[in-house]
A and B are shown apart, each in its own frame.
Chain A
Amino acid sequence: MVLERLKLDGKVAVVTGAGRGLGRQMALALAQAGADVVCAARTAEQIDRTSADIAALGRRAVAQPTDVRDSKQCDALIQRAVDEFGGIDIMLSNAGIGDMRGANAELWDVNDDDWHDTLDVNLSSAFYCARAASKQMAAQGRGGTIINLASGTAMRAYPMSFGYGAAKAGVIALTKSLSAMLIKHQIRVNCIIPGFVMQAPAQNEQAAIFSQTRGRYLPAQRLGEAWELGPLAIFLASDASSYVTGQGFVIDGGGLAGGLAPMGFAPDVAL
């Protein structure tokens, strides 16, 4: 029965970057599907709010402030799941930070710290969390799922976000390698590759106009909305994706599929 395969009752999810935007929506979705959730982010305030919202859905949630650049804090995050809820079944590594250091800059203006910082927050964090989570999952002996967040910027040239793109491309490759390494423990590893997705509803006129104009270039004619990643996270976290591993799921309104010409370009040439 297809709908049974989506259920996450009895499962424990750890979500990084759960305080706002995509991570918050995915944490809410996993909870709605039945999971208890450990919500992680750098500061407490926003993850306290996500946790409270999950409790209002009738599930258990705790907030664990975590700097994902520090592997010891990632270890502690997984340990929190074990201490609070007895284990971990779903590791959703969503923490990441945009990087516009290439914007209006020459390549040689970007220093070592900038480069390492981008890699640490976006790529190393995925490694640290996967390492800690998979070790615990293997000890539990009942498999598990790891979901990483990459980005469409990993798939094309984005001079203003070249570091971010490189780090996210690393996440895509890491996802494949981890899937091969961890399948023997029945752990599936996949990643979500968002295109332009709004983290929150437009708060003002300017933001609304921005999202409309950016959306014009996409087959979907709009930017994505953070909540749209929720059902995708449930799919990848649950038995619904039982034969899926090592994959990247692009959610981008068709941008990566088309894009060779502006939307509306429709040549009319007979044979």
Chain B
Amino acid sequence: MKNEWGDVRLGTDAWDLSGKRALVIGAGAPAGRAIALALGEAGADVTVSSATTDGEDMMRVKRVAQELTKMGRRSSAVGTDVTLGTGVQVMVRQVAKDMGGIDVLVNAPDLFLGKPAGDTTDIDFNRVMQVNLAGTFHGCRAVGREMLKQETGGRIINIASVLGERAIANAAAYCAAQAGILNLTRALATEWGPKKITVNAIAAGWMEYTAAIGNPDPAANQTVRFVPMKRAGAADELGPLAVYLASDSCGYISGQVMFVDGGLTTHL
């Protein structure tokens, strides 16, 4: 059967990322790890980076690289502090050299602060902004530069939170930073669209690892009980969407925020 559109990948073959070179920043945390592994399962080679210079973070990233290598993918572990733009730039430049280029970037830095607004200090506020928002920007800027040089387009996926679109108490800095990530996503999509770079965000809801909600067991957790699916999400439920957004067949989705939240934001 010949599709009138020609030789297009509109089925499950759309999910094949063979030959794609991905960089996941923040692979030491559950979301970044799950997405890095999903990209690998779909066939991509994946360099995994920490988001901080913390030793534990680096150890976890190294383990993810090992899991990817066991899958048969090219993978290496690198480190960076996402708050330092120059450092991120240097890391990305090296990764681009090692992999021969970067086709997919996943930004997954995450730092939650739960504190009344009146008690949130300048240092608190700036720290939350630097890790979440500036951290995402630094990754986008560095990899964007590579993609623009490569002239073969690209895919950028920013991992954010439902708290970028809604609010809870005691999270003013984090909510503001997450909202910033969402519109940063739209701005970059608009600017880089003509260069065939798509930029999207996945807004995760209450996940099993979400710092804001503590215990994700709905029996214990007043907040998770309000999720229509009545449960927190598992990190691996982010993977398939990231793979789709990274694929060649997804060139017409850009500047979008996609909520993976069990229906949370539809209801509340």
Q: Which residues of A contact B (CB under 8 A)?
A: 1-3, 5-7, 25, 28-29, 32-33, 53, 56-57, 176, 179-180, 183, 195, 197, 200-201, 218-221, 224-228, 230-232, 234-235, 240-247, 249-254, 256-259, 263-264, 266
28 intermolecular pairs with C-beta atoms under 8 Å apart:
A2-B38, A6-B15, A25-B3, A32-B11, A32-B13, A53-B1, A56-B1, A176-B267, A179-B263, A180-B263, A219-B194, A221-B193, A225-B252, A226-B5, A230-B11, A230-B14, A234-B14, A240-B241, A243-B229, A244-B258, A244-B259, A246-B228, A246-B263, A249-B258, A253-B254, A257-B189, A258-B186, A264-B194
Contact B249 A228 (CB under 8 A): yes
- Expressed in whole angstroms, the Cα–Cα distance for A29 and B244 within the complex equals 14
Given A3-B41, A180-B267, answer yes or no on A231-B10 (Cβ-Cβ < 8 Å): yes
Contact A251 B229 (CB under 8 A): no
Contact B229 A245 (CB under 8 A): yes
- Expressed in whole angstroms, the Cα–Cα distance for A240 and B12 within the complex equals 11
Partner of A254, one of B189, B260, B263, B265: B189
Contact B233 A246 (CB under 8 A): no
- Expressed in whole angstroms, the Cα–Cα distance for A244 and B206 within the complex equals 12
Interface residue B239 (Cβ < 8 Å from any Cβ of A): yes
Contact A266 B191 (CB under 8 A): yes
Given A5-B240, A245-B262, A258-B255, answer yes or no on A25-B11 (Cβ-Cβ < 8 Å): no
Given A2-B15, A231-B14, A249-B258, answer yes or no on A220-B193 (Cβ-Cβ < 8 Å): yes
Q: Which residues of B contact A (CB under 8 A)?
A: 1, 3-5, 8-15, 38, 41-42, 185-186, 189-194, 196, 198, 205, 228-229, 233-234, 237, 239-241, 243-244, 247, 249-256, 258-263, 265-267
Question: Which residues of B are found within 8 Å of A195, using beta-carbon distances?
Answer: 252
Partner of A219, one of B5, B13, B193, B265: B193
Contact A218 B234 (CB under 8 A): no
Question: Which residues of B are found within 8 Å of A245, using beta-carbon distances?
Answer: 228-229, 262-263, 266
Partner of B241, one of A25, A201, A235: A235
Question: Which residues of A are found within 8 Å of B259, using beta-carbon distances?
Answer: 244, 247
Question: Which residues of B are found within 8 Å of A201, using beta-carbon distances?
Answer: 4-5
- Expressed in whole angstroms, the Cα–Cα distance for A28 and B14 within the complex equals 13
Contact B254 A231 (CB under 8 A): no
Shortest Cβ distance from residue A269 to the other chain B in the assembled complex, whole angstroms: 15
Shortest Cβ distance from residue B262 to the other chain A in the assembled complex, whole angstroms: 5
- Expressed in whole angstroms, the Cα–Cα distance for A244 and B189 within the complex equals 23
- Expressed in whole angstroms, the Cα–Cα distance for A253 and B38 within the complex equals 25
Given A201-B4, A220-B193, A254-B255, answer yes or no on A235-B237 (Cβ-Cβ < 8 Å): no
Known contacts A3-B41, A234-B12; 17 further A-B pairs (Cβ under 8 A) = A25-B10, A56-B1, A201-B4, A218-B193, A219-B194, A227-B3, A227-B10, A230-B8, A230-B11, A231-B9, A231-B244, A234-B11, A234-B14, A235-B244, A243-B237, A244-B241, A264-B194
